Amino acid sequence: MLRKILIANRGEIAVRIIRACAEMGIRSVAIYTEADRYSLHVKKADESYCIGQEPLNGYLNIHALVDLAISRGCDAIHPGYGFLSENAKFAEACKERNIVFIGPDPEVILKMGDKTQARHAMTAAGLPVTPGSEGNLDDVDEALTVAEAVGYPIMLKATSGGGGRGIRRCDNAQELTHNYDRVISEATKAFGSAEVFLEKCIVNPKHIEVQVLADKHGHAIHLYERDCSIQRRNQKLIEIAPSPQLDEAQRQYIGGLAVMAAKAVGYSNAGTVEFLLDDTGRFYFMEMNTRVQVEHTITESITGVDIIEEQIRIAAGLELRHTQDEITKRGYSIQLRINAEDPKNNFLPSFGKITRYYAPGGPGVRTDTAIYTGYVVPPYFDSMLAKVIVSAATWHDTIKRAERALRDIGLFGIKTTIPYYLQILSHPEFQQADFNTGFVEKHPELINYSNKPRPEVLASVLSSVIASHTGL
Ligand code: ADP
Ligand code: ADP
Ligand code: MG
């Protein structure tokens, strides 16, 4: 088993990995840049090292990270999500220096991280893939020709994109011409690659993804699906496991496809196969994420499998502990991404000091976060502050629990997406489990909720004012 792991990440996912290490008796090493000096992951790890003044660069410095891991006696690196997690060069650099990279082999990352190569590999493996360009597009003329053949609307996408960025829908030739250079420049800036491709736009699809686990001994299983259809601008806001919009036959079908996909590319470790489901009931492969996902939590809740622990065990060369038959699920789980954004102001990022934070609790509630009272949210990173994960036996009970948990939180000093989520949870279409990726855009009225503070919020503010004056 591994003895000491360097966590090449920050924030809640670094804390999540530190917790898994602690439970497994593995020492954890955190890294931070100056902007993160007071971050929770720095305090929680067994050891912490500053890796730069500039806020972001240190988290992306492959050689400095591998050097640090070696000099501190680490035998593995966990990359988390974002940053270097899907960087094949990082995985390669680890391999060359005999550090275990907690993820799949560099060749697999390279293949699946490139969306056009992944489309090829999945077509070859027999998965249904959205119609689109053979490979990357050479120029706008080629784009126009392919789009004509595929039929509008189309999606123009950055080949190495992620995090919902570098994607534009184009409804006609004019829009495609207009967007072409924009997507290229977005892709270059965000992902350091100018490559783009296009595929048919599935209008108002459901986003259904399957969690897979595969070991280095040829075993692969799935842990059921997640429904991530509640999105804004192609970015996930609320995730649900299992999807309340699938029947059992559909569930078995995509679970099987995902395992087939993992086996076809020689996958090992945790991964996610993302599909779009159209309104005629057809599934299309969209992409594979070769890392742990933000929403792995809800799968943990319904299956009882600790995905980070499994990642570590698989990377250490152990065999999967479960066969497919042994994986069962129970009830539903919802994750709400609490972002530091002002929904009423076009989701403008909100930074600054968290003057008071009280985590929600009670049965079936889990909070993964790196915030605490007095923490100052820096402006340099992702706006996700916390993940509130609730689970219960039925869909109805899970929604009720989510509402209760959101009202239970105390989070003051900055604006968050909490009030907006309360609106979504109370919407009949959400409650009847009838929604797709167009939900947020279809319901702009949910953003214009009343600003009137709830009585319990008033009481809480009042008590903190009294406390700060009386010292009680
Ligand atoms: P998930 O796919 O796990 O649901 P997101 O798509 O929200 O999660 O991405 C999680 C984080 O990783 C975000 O901070 C996002 O910006 C970042 N990220 C994802 N893919 C990439 C990529 N290809 N390049 C850079 N950052 C990425
Ligand atoms: P990322 O790597 O940024 O996660 P994805 O390829 O997974 O990018 O797409 C992100 C989101 O964009 C999807 O969840 C979906 O809502 C939307 N999307 C992507 N491709 C299509 C498509 N062909 N048709 C309709 N929606 C799409
Ligand atoms: Mg995706």
Classify 197 as helix, strand or coil.
strand
User: For the residues of 451-469, what is the DSSP string, one character each?
Assistant: -PPPHHHHHHHHHHHHHHH
Task: List residues bridging with 27 in a β-sheet.
Answer: 4
**Model pLDDT, residue 464:** 67
Interval 95-107 mean pLDDT: 98
**Model pLDDT, residue 374:** 97
Question: Is the CB of 16 within 6 Å of ligand 2?
Answer: no
**Model pLDDT, residue 41:** 98
Q: List all residues 6 or more positions away from 23 whose beta carbon is below 8 Å from its beta carbon.
A: 306, 309
Classify 252 as helix, strand or coil.
helix
C-beta atoms surrounding 283 within 10 Å: 19
Structure tokens at 335: 């994750």
Quote the CA–CA distance of 386 and 373 in Å, as a whole number. 13
Q: Per-residue pLDDT tens for 2-13?
A: 999 999 999 999
**Model pLDDT, residue 66:** 98
**Residue 351, H or E segment:** none
Q: Per-residue pLDDT tens for 300-350?
A: 999 999 999 999 999 999 999 999 999 999 999 999 999 999 999 999 999
Mean model confidence pLDDT for the chain: 95
Catalytic residue among 251, 291, 366, 401: 291
Residue with tokens 């995902």: 258
Which ligand lies nearest to the CA atom of residue 437 in the structure? 2
What's the gap in Å between 96 CA and the centre of ligand 1? 26
The protein residue whose alpha carbon is closest to atom 18 in ligand 2 is 234
Question: Is the CB of 437 within 6 Å of ligand 2?
Answer: yes
Active site residue 233: no
Structure tokens at 17: 């990995």
**Model pLDDT, residue 461:** 64
Q: Is the pLDDT of residue 455 over 60?
A: no
**Model pLDDT, residue 465:** 66
The rounded percent of the chain whose pLDDT value lies above 70 is 95
What does the chain come to in residues? 472
Interval 29-39 mean pLDDT: 97
What's the gap in Å between 234 CA and the centre of ligand 2? 6
Quote the CA–CA distance of 362 and 349 in Å, as a whole number. 30
Interval 141-147 mean pLDDT: 97
Q: Is the pLDDT of residue 198 over 70?
A: yes
CA dihedral 289, 295, 296, 297 (to 10 degrees): 170
Interval 124-130 mean pLDDT: 97
Q: Is the pLDDT of residue 193 over 90?
A: yes
Interval 128-140 mean pLDDT: 96
What's the gap in Å between 129 CA and the centre of ligand 2? 13
Report the pocket of ligand 1 as residue ranges, CB < 6 Å.
81-82, 86, 160-164, 191, 235-236, 289, 293-295, 382
**Model pLDDT, residue 135:** 93
Task: List residues bridging with 101 in a β-sheet.
Answer: 77
- Kindly report whether the global pTM for this prediction surpasses the value 0.75: yes
Quote the CA–CA distance of 240 and 331 in Å, as a whole number. 11
**Model pLDDT, residue 195:** 96
What's the gap in Å between 165 CA and the centre of ligand 2? 9
The protein residue whose alpha carbon is closest to atom 12 in ligand 2 is 234
Outline where 114-164 has alpha helix (H): 115-124, 140-150
- Tell me if 310 sits within 8 A of 230, measured CB to CB: no
Report residue 472's pLDDT band, with 50, 70 and 90 as the boundaries: low
**Model pLDDT, residue 286:** 96
Q: Per-residue pLDDT tens for 392-439?
A: 999 999 999 999 999 999 999 999 999 999 999 999 999 999 999 999
Mean pLDDT is lowest, of 270-274, 299-303, 450-454, for: 450-454
The rounded percent of the chain whose pLDDT value lies above 90 is 94
Classify 300 as helix, strand or coil.
helix
Residue with tokens 């570098």: 166
Quote the CA–CA distance of 251 and 399 in Å, as a whole number. 21
Q: Is the pLDDT of residue 253 over 60?
A: yes
| Cα separations in angstroms, 366 against 386, 400, 405 | 10, 15, 9
Report residue 449's pLDDT band, with 50, 70 and 90 as the boundaries: confident
With vertex at residue 389, the alpha carbon angle to CA 385 and CA 394, rounded to the nearest 5 degrees, is: 155
**Model pLDDT, residue 448:** 83
